[in-house]
Amino acid sequence: MKAYLFPGQGAQFTGMGLDLYENSEKAKDLFNQANEILGFEITKIMFEGSAEELKETKVTQPAIFLHSTILAEVLGDAFQPDMVAGHSLGELSALVANKTLAFDDGLSLVSKRAQAMQKACEQQPSTMAAVLGLEDEVVERICEETSGIVVAANYNCPGQLVISGEIEAVNKACESLTEAGARRALLLPVGGAFHSPLMEPAREELAAAIEATRFAAPACPVYQNVNASAVTDPSEIKKNLMLQLTAPVKWTQTVQQMIKDGGTSFIEVGPGNVLQGLMRKIDRSVETGKAEL
């Protein structure tokens, strides 16, 4: 069975999507539509902008979403997934690709998500850190024992877990994790504590927008971040998406479940190759690849 995977924040690069724009009329139309929906020329930043400009949350998230969803659209009949999943932001790309969300609705939600997250970051200084070389259970226990808000946020692959929370609590947890034998506990250059309780204001804002958006029956199951399970019921997909900003991204568990359910070929759709790298660490025996024109 063919599984398509959609990347999240951090996969952006200058020039992303330009090949699609230049080689496909359909892609050009969708990019131009995106400029109108967003109210600014995101194509100019994607194709010519600096790394600094692309790092702005209000740009990064729509840019990655557009690269992924437009590539899937341009592939046309060659794009026939049996199952889809997306890492954090990538879940919205996956929901457009499997026909749960219309392209314009998906982009509007991504834009609202980015702005809501930015606001939440500005309300309370917070951060994230990557922890390498420790069992998940050890990381979870140390987070629980650390005073302040710090939680396991991204289960990326065995031995790589990202923690998220208040700056002081994350720093304290990093010290304890290093003492416990972590190969590295490294602060990440992010604007805030994504997938932690500190994103509650953003979750509430995005939940209202999700509630007001039409979700159709999907063409194939989506494996969602919050429960790492196949979902086909539109109301359940909505509910899980509303929880996503404050819940951990169970990526390792998601991929393992997809393999259990018959996934044999995993194809990354969008910028970068982060998910292919994680796939090799989760299960080397499955076939991985990159979607290309």
In a domain, 19, yes or no: yes
Residue with tokens 């958006």: 213
111 is a catalytic site residue: no
Domain boundary among 166, 187, 208: 187
Residue type at position 72: A
* Residue range of the domain that includes 16: 2-122+197-290
* Adjacent-strand bridge partners of 166: 126
Domain co-membership, 109 together with 148: no
Query: Are 133 and 43 in contact, with CB atoms under 8 Å apart?
Result: no
The predicted model gives 80-85 an average pLDDT of 98
Residue 262's Cβ-side half-sphere holds a number of Cα atoms within 13 Å equal to: 7
Query: What kind and span of H or E run contains 265?
Result: strand 265-268
Beta strand pairing call for 83-86 and 2-6? parallel
Q: Measure the CA–CA gap between 98 and 191, rounded to whole angstroms.
A: 30
Q: List residues bridging with 150 in a β-sheet.
A: 165
Where helices occur in 127-183 by DSSP H, the ranges are 136-145, 167-179
Same domain, yes or no: 141 and 163: yes
DSSP-H helix ranges across 153-233: 167-179, 200-211
The CATH number covering residue 97 comes to 3.40.366.10
Same structural domain, 99 and 163: no
Asked if 106 and 93 count as a contact pair (C-beta separation under 8 A), the reply is yes
Side-chain-side CA neighbours of residue 208 (13 Å): 7
Q: How far apart are CA 14 and CA 142, in angstroms?
A: 38
Tell whether 61 is covered by a domain: yes
Report residue 126: phi and psi, to 5°.
-160, 170
Q: What is the pTM of this model?
A: 0.97
Which residues, 6 or more positions from 144, have their beta carbon under 8 angstroms from its beta carbon? none
Q: pLDDT (tens digit, 9 = 90+) per residue, 43-52?
A: 999 999 999 9
Is there a domain that residue 192 lies in?
A: no
Whether residue 160 is found in the same domain as residue 19: no
> Mean pLDDT over all residues of the chain?
97
Look up the CATH number of the domain holding residue 170. Answer: 3.30.70.250
- pLDDT at res. 79: 96
Kindly state the average pLDDT of the residues 223-246.
Answer: 98
pLDDT at residue number 293: 86
Active site (annotated) includes residue 68: no
Q: What are phi and psi of 141, to 5 degrees?
A: -65, -45
* Catalytic choice (67, 87, 164, 195): 195
How far is the CA of 102 from the CAs of 6, 117, 287, in angstroms? 16, 22, 30
Who's near 68: CB < 8 A, 6+ residues apart?
A: 6, 7, 86, 90, 93, 97, 269, 270, 271
pLDDT at residue 175 above 90? yes
Contacts of 50 (CB under 8 A, 6+ apart): 14
Query: Running DSSP on this structure, what letter comes out for residue 249?
Result: B
Distance separating alpha carbons of residues 171 and 150, to the nearest angstrom = 9
Q: Which residue has the tokens 């930015």?
A: 118
Length of the chain: 293
Pair (67, 100) in one structural domain = yes
Q: Which of 24, 68, 88, 196 is catalytic?
A: 88
Domains contained in the chain, number: 2
Given pLDDT bands bounded at 50, 70 and 90, which one contains residue 191?
confident
Tell me what the mean pLDDT of segment 152-164 comes to.
Answer: 98
Residue with tokens 């069975």: 1
Quick: pLDDT tens for 138-155: 999 999 999 999 999 999
Residue 32 has pLDDT above 90, yes or no: yes
